[in-house]
């Protein structure tokens, strides 16, 4: 795997490529996004027809847009979709009219508190049209007639999502999910897509214990569609993580699963604390990203959510200020590193059974102490062996050992490997 600085630069370059595309919950912008992601990792792309029943929802009509603008009487485009995909209300129905500014105002969205920023707004399930613009742009518009054009289509088509699978030693799965429905917003969620891509590549360079399934899908309806289409094999999903807002300068935030004590929750808490990074662990709430679908009570999967500053927690959220300058290679590299550290723990967290449980087995004659010679943490490693032997009763995991002993997980896992090799414990 490339050094983290190089990885950060590669992720930022991917965000930069994806940034101009107009994404929504359906349409060619999603396909174009997945085509670029597919250059980095192989994808299985799924197309689900309009009208398909998915749990309590129905796959909507597909939305595509070619052009949109507001022009003054001289033909000057005062608001232009070509300049930014944020300028159009997502899922706007087609319109071609001329109207006075007073009438047009009812279809305009601004941020008066941030007069130079353009908001991100959508109307997925209610037929509307509209434009988003900077308050200072609106303030500068003189009264008069304006030409309004939204060259879009809402028609039967498909909802598109994709998967990438890193095969493991067992079929039990860890899912990693990120949404691909937001237009030109760098942190939410292009940074999450970029981290997922490089995380998938890093996992593929080894032979992980779990099978890792990466899901690139539009928010809410995409996760619901995936759950509906995979309901019969949902028992294979043992752990999961939703990635979002992965590139801003804020501290890492982990939102726990609905269970709160799922293994992924314990692993993330442990790794964040052990890393001594500034961080926050938040309780589950049924609002946010797609963790709320995976954690709905019928599924109740052990899926948490990792971000830096959480959704709606920074002023730039869902505005044009969430741009390429707002995300940094360093922040994305840090998010990626944390994911790799967490999955390294998750992948090695086993329960063992002590095969010599009556009294302490003699480690010296098995060469286990000699094997530690030259280690800078010899005393720690010896203690780890004793802890693993003592707690290997089939009930305690290596994470339990690390937490109870206060020893680093890597040291505990190495001790377990040595003991297993000596025939003193079995998985």
DSSP codes, 115-145: TT--B--B-SSS----EE--HHHHHTPPSSE
What φ, ψ does residue 315 adopt, rounded to 5°?
-60, -30
Residues pairing with 79 in the sheet: 70
The DSSP secondary-structure symbol of 180 reads: -
| Chain position carrying tokens 């609106």 | 138
Tally Cβ neighbours within 10 Å of residue 85.
23
Q: Which pair of structure tokens corresponds to residue 278?
A: 């500034």
Q: What is the pTM of this model?
A: 0.95
Q: Which CATH number applies to 4-60+158-345?
A: 3.40.630.10
Superfamily of domain 62-155: Domain of unknown function DUF2172 (3.50.30.90)
What are 93-149's pLDDT values in tens digits? 999 999 999 999 999 999 999 999 999 999 999 999 999 999 999 999 999 999 999
**The tokens of 403 are what?**
């937490």
What is the spatial distance between Cα 300 and Cα 291, in angstroms, rounded to a whole number?
10
Q: Which part of the chain has CATH 3.50.30.90?
A: 62-155
Helix, coil or strand: residue 183: coil
Report phi then psi at 157, rounded to 5.
-160, -125
Q: In terms of Cα–Cα distance, which of 343, 345, 18 is closest to 175?
A: 343
Q: What is the predicted pLDDT for the residue at 409? A: 96
Which residue spans of the chain are classified as CATH 1.10.10.10?
351-426
- Tell me which DSSP letter residue 71 carries: E
Could you please state the CATH topology (level 3) that the domain comprising 351-426 is classified under.
Answer: Arc Repressor Mutant, subunit A (1.10.10)
The two three-digit tokens of residue 324, written as one number: 């390429």
Q: Report which DSSP code applies to 216.
A: E
In angstroms, how far is CA 170 from the centroid of its own chain? 23
* Cα–Cα dist 223/221, whole Å: 6
Residue 345 φ then ψ, to 5°: -70, -50
Q: Is 182 annotated as a binding residue?
A: yes
Residue by residue, pLDDT tens for the chain (427 residues) are: 455 569 999 999 999 999 999 999 999 999 999 999 999 999 999 999 999 999 999 999 999 999 999 999 999 999 999 999 999 999 999 999 999 999 999 999 999 999 999 999 999 999 999 999 999 999 999 999 999 999 999 999 999 999 999 999 999 999 999 999 999 999 998 999 999 999 999 999 999 999 999 999 999 999 999 999 999 999 999 999 999 999 999 999 999 999 999 999 999 999 999 999 999 999 999 999 999 999 999 999 999 999 999 998 999 999 999 999 999 999 999 999 999 999 999 999 999 999 999 999 988 888 887 655 555 677 888 899 999 999 999 999 999 999 999 999 999 999 999 999 999 999 9
318 is in an annotated binding site: yes
Largest Cα–Cα distance in the chain?
Answer: 94
CA dihedral of 235, 239, 240, 246, whole degrees rounded to 10: -170
Domain with CATH 3.40.630.10 in the chain: 4-60+158-345
Are residues 131 and 89 in contact, defined by beta-carbon separation less than 8 angstroms?
yes
What pLDDT is stored for residue 225 in this prediction? 98
């Amino acid at each position: 795997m490339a050094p983290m600085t190089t990885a950060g630069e590669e992720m930022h370059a991917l965000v930069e490529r994806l940034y101009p595309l107009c994404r929504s919950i359906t349409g060619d912008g999603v396909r174009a996004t997945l085509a670029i992601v597919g250059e980095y990792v192989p994808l299985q792309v799924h197309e689900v027809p309009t009208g398909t029943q998915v749990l309590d929802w129905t796959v909507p009509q597909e939305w595509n847009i070619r052009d949109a603008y507001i022009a003054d009487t001289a033909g000057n485009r005062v608001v232009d979709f070509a300049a930014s995909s944020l300028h159009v209300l997502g899922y706007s129905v087609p319109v071609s009219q001329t109207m006075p500014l007073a009438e047009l105002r009812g279809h305009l969205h601004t941020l008066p508190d941030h007069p130079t920023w353009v908001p991100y707004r959508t109307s997925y399930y209610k037929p509307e049209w509209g434009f988003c613009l900077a308050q200072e742009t609106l303030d500068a518009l003189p009264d008069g007639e304006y030409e309004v054009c939204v060259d879009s289509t809402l028609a039967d088509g498909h909802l598109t999502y994709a998967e990438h699978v890193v095969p493991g030693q067992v079929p039990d799965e860890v899912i990693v999910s990120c949404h691909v429905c937001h237009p030109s917003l760098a942190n939410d969620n292009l940074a999450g897509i970029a981290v997922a891509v490089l995380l998938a590549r890093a996992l593929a360079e080894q032979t992980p214990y779990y099978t890792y399934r990466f899901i690139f899908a539009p928010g809410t309806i995409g996760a619901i569609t995936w759950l509906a289409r995979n309901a019969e094999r949902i028992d294979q999903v043992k752990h999961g993580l939703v990635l979002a807002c992965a590139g801003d300068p804020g501290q890492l935030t982990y939102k726990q699963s609905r269970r709160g004590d799922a293994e992924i929750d314990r692993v993330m808490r442990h790794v964040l604390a052990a890393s001594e990074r500034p961080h926050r662990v938040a309780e589950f709430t049924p609002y946010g990203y797609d963790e709320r679908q995976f954690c709905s009570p019928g599924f109740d999967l052990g899926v948490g959510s990792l971000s830096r500053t959480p959704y709606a927690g920074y002023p730039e959220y869902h505005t044009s200020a969430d741009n390429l300058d707002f995300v940094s290679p360093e922040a994305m590299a840090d998010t990626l590193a944390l994911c790799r550290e967490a999955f390294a723990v998750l992948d090695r967290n086993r329960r063992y059974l002590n095969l010599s449980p009556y009294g302490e087995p003699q480690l010296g004659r098995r060469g286990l102490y000699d094997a530690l010679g030259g280690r800078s943490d010899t005393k720690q490693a010896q203690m780890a062996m004793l802890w693993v032997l003592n707690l290997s009763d089939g009930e305690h995991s290596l994470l339990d050992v690390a937490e109870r002993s206060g020893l680093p997980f890597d040291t505990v896992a190495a001790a377990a490997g040595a003991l297993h090799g000596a025939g003193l414990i079995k998985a």
